[in-house]
Amino acid sequence: MGQVLQYDTAANAIEELKSKGYAIDFNLQSNITGHVDQFKIKAIYRYEGETDPADEIIIYAIESSNGLKGTFITGYGTSAEDPFSFLNRLIN
């Protein structure tokens, strides 16, 4: 992975990733063409809630070999979902 960047808030990270072409919200997708091996995690951002552990999230910037770029957002800890397990369910 290249340069590590940190943003003040998850919202700022998401907006910056969108400006870099990560426009697909993989959490909302119901159908993706390809194979999970074609996807790579390009960056990971973790955010912790200041007072509530339920506010902890991870943002994955994901890119496919055929040019799809997007984000996958999940909880952190026991509620976290592996982005590749998630993608496996979506891919035809």
**d(C-alpha 17, C-alpha 85), whole Å:** 22
Q: What is the CA radius of gyration of the chain?
A: 13
Single-letter code of the amino acid located at 61: A
**d(C-alpha 2, C-alpha 68), whole Å:** 19
Average pLDDT, rounded, for the chain: 80
User: Does the pLDDT value for residue 1 go beyond 50?
Assistant: no
Give the DSSP letter of residue 56.
Answer: -
Cβ(59)–Cβ(71) below 8 Å? yes
Give the DSSP letter of residue 84.
Answer: H
Q: What is the pLDDT of residues 69-85, one digit of tens each?
A: 999 888 877 667 777 77
Would you list the domain boundaries of the chain?
A: 10-90
Single-letter code of the amino acid located at 70: G
Q: What is the pLDDT of residue 70?
A: 92
